[in-house]
Amino acid sequence: MSLCEDAARAAGFRRAEMMATLSGEPLYRACGYTPIEQVAAPGPGGVAVPLVRMGKALD
């Protein structure tokens, strides 16, 4: 994660955001990301996939 964040900083980004699955949310929280909103994306066969948009300032 730090490699990606370092590359984003070097490219001038000041913030990172991602969509996390519910099972991935604890990992991203441990990396300093905070939840922004919960959404449901359409999945195969019309089954909704719950996701959490997460963000972190890249200081």
Detail the DSSP E strand segments found in 1-59. 15-21, 34-42, 48-57
| Domain span including residue 24 | 2-57
Report the run of H or E that residue 5 belongs to, with start and end. Answer: helix 2-10
For residues 43 and 26, what is the distance between their CA atoms, to the nearest angstrom? 22
pTM of the model: 0.87
Report the run of H or E that residue 27 belongs to, with start and end. Answer: helix 25-30
pLDDT for res 47: 93
Q: What is the mean pLDDT of residues 14-34?
A: 97
Count structural domains, the chain: 1
Query: In 3-state terms, what secondary structure has residue 3?
Result: helix
pLDDT for res 29: 98
